[in-house]
Structure 1
Amino acid sequence: METSLITGKKTINGIEVYYEYYNHPTSKETVVLIHGFLSSLFSFRQLVPLLKERFSIVSVDLPPFGKSGHSAKYQYTFKNMAKTVVELLDNLGIPDYHLVGHSMGGQIVLNILSHFPAHAKKAVLLCSSGYSKRAKQSLILASYLPFFYLMIKVYLARSGIEKNLRNVVYDQNLIDDEMRQGYMNPFLENSIFKGLTGLLRHREGDLPPEILHQIQTPCLLIWGEYDKVVPLQIGKRLAQDLPNSTLTVLKDTGHLVPEERPQVVFQHIKNFIFEGEKEKENTSGF
């Protein structure tokens, strides 16, 4: 039997959420993939083929990114995004799971562990964002101006996809047309910029140390040695503040670890999930 793939959109927590569900025929473990800021589930394209040989996978486009929707009524707080992911998994009938979050997705994972921990068994944070404050009040007020979303569009256009990709990968040779197109596609519609306006307005800031100290879920932190977006120092600080965590640093690697080092990341995830257990053979022949 082969792993089956279900793709679809569901209205969850008042917003349309796009997901891809790889249902492994024999594995009892499910891995949930949560992408980062200005990204989509495309960022896990190198990791999914490896993970699906051992696990069921749910990969989610966080609103308003990827193929998920935007709603002016949706609250783009990290807590509400975490609630949306949890409710999607409940809707799919998945009782427990392991969480994997990259960059901002790592902060969504931490919010799940803090606010909705009942079904999360373990968590992997890939260059997770941490300790960022809420936007300045002046910027939040400016976000209510008509057509503010177009200002965000112009700002992001100035930085450009090429510059952004060069900032997130250590090995520049990895950047090709497929990567450029994959990371640019979600920004071809104006709705995402309206969603980004909501995110800027609603985002409550990252979880503070006193909350992180209360998270007991086992966490594996995987970091790129040369991460320019979320420096390694953030990973070291998170490892200190999360009481049940381990930090692994990947040499000659930048921020986009699922793209740059998929084989190594997969091995770390697999070993972490099966830590202390004798992994059972399955029919995949992996």
Structure 2
Amino acid sequence: MPGEGPAPVWPARDTRIAGVHTRVRETGGTPAVAYVHGLGGSALDWTDLGALLAPDLPGAALDLPGFGGSAPLRRYSLAALADHVTAWLAALGPVHLVGNSLGGAVTVLVAARRPDLVRTLTLISPAMPFLRPWQSDLGRLAPFAWLPGTARVLALTMARLGPDGLTRQSIESCTTDPASVPPDRLAAFRDEAERWLASPWHADAYVRTFRALLATFLRPGAGSPWSYAARIAVPTLVVWGRDDRLVPSRLGPRLAGTVPDCRLLVLDGVGHVAQVERPATVAGAIRALVDEHRAA
């Protein structure tokens, strides 16, 4: 946060959600906001945004199965991930739900299927299916996802990069200005990467989750996240970085036109993780959405 330094990492606790060991981080207080991270991320991705909202909107963020400190699922699909998040929210009660990238696609399903658990929805560069995916950094990796031995090759590659290289690669692909990420936050990401790389399932969980996401690109019609987006009945905010290299910002207007009650915020000079690059701006937009919901 400008002038104050990075927010401290939220305390973590381990719990079981739908029978799966899951790590959850909370700002303190009864959670009013629930956060769902993207592919390869963790609850740490929400540290600064959640700290800005926490004074009157306490937050909770989970590590999706197979990431951070959470155990993997037996079977991966977008629907299975949505079921996991839904089970978590059922214990929290209705919340303002926020998702980024993969977490954005997951929360689209959650909000469409269980509007009783969602007060408002904020989607930050959600990984919605799009045409010509090979023109994005995300799509160029797709042909390798189903090759035999992909998880083993990925594990070797990650081991060679180590936590420092993995963190650097992630920051460079997700942000427009890696130098804007404070050293303390980078150190926290690096430590999380080291813990995740030590888990026996990290590469397999990544590959299977990536395949589950890519499968949505091949599923038009009723099973597509786009069909779920059209059924969302809660007030929604879509935030996109204009310089997103993973999921193109051109999807923002389309998504805003698909969700019945939606607002769109496109940020110049921002990449795939607006909550990391511009937490104050995103926090202000979420507050405006929550205030509008309360007034209504």
| TM-score bucket of the superposed structures, by smaller chain | 0.7 to 0.9
Distance in structure 1 (CA, Å) of the matches to 2:294 and 2:183: 42
Note the C-alpha offset of 1:277: 4.1
SS for the counterpart of 1:47 is helix
Structure with greater proportional helix content: 2
Q: TM-score under structure 1 normalisation?
A: 0.81
- What's the RMSD between the two structures over aligned residues? 2.9
Query: 1:214 is matched with which residue: 228, 231, 234?
Result: 231
Q: 1:276 Cα shift? A: 5.6
- Between the aligned partners of 2:248 and 2:211, the Cα distance in structure 1 is 25
Contact 1:128–1:235 at 8 Å: present in 2 too? no
AA aligned opposite 2:216: G
Q: Specify the alignment match of 1:198 in structure 2.
A: 208
Distance 1:266 1:16 in 2: 30
TM-score, length basis structure 2: 0.78
1:174 correspondence with 2:180: yes
2:259 to 238, 242, 245: 242
**1:81: which partner in 2?**
81
**Which has the higher mean CA deviation after the structures are superposed, 187-196 or 242-251?**
187-196
Number of equivalent positions: 264
- Could you say which residue in structure 2 is the equivalent of 1:273? 290
Output the amino acid matched with 1:13. Answer: A
1:117 partner letter: P
Give the AA of the match of 2:199: E
Deviation at 1:114, TM superposition (A): 2.4
2:33 is matched with 31
The answer as to whether partners of 1:83 and 1:116 remain within 8 angstroms in 2 is no
Distance 1:138 1:169 in 2: 24
1:215 partner amino acid: I
SS in 2 for 1:170: coil
**Equivalent residue for 2:62?**
60
Question: Is 1:224 the counterpart of 2:204 in the alignment?
Answer: no
1:210-254 Cα shifts (integer Å, max 9, x gaps): 332222222100111211111211222211221221111122222
Q: Deviations over 1:132-190 (max 9, x none)?
A: 599989954x45x5xx4221223555684323312221223224554444153333433
2:15 alignment counterpart? 10
Aligned partner of 1:106 in structure 2 is 104
Which shifted more, 268-277 or 186-195? Answer: 186-195
Q: Relative to structure 1, is the Cα distance of residues 269 and 12 closer, same or farther in structure 2, using a 3 angstrom cutoff?
A: same
Tell me if structure 2 keeps the 8 A contact 1:75–1:202: no
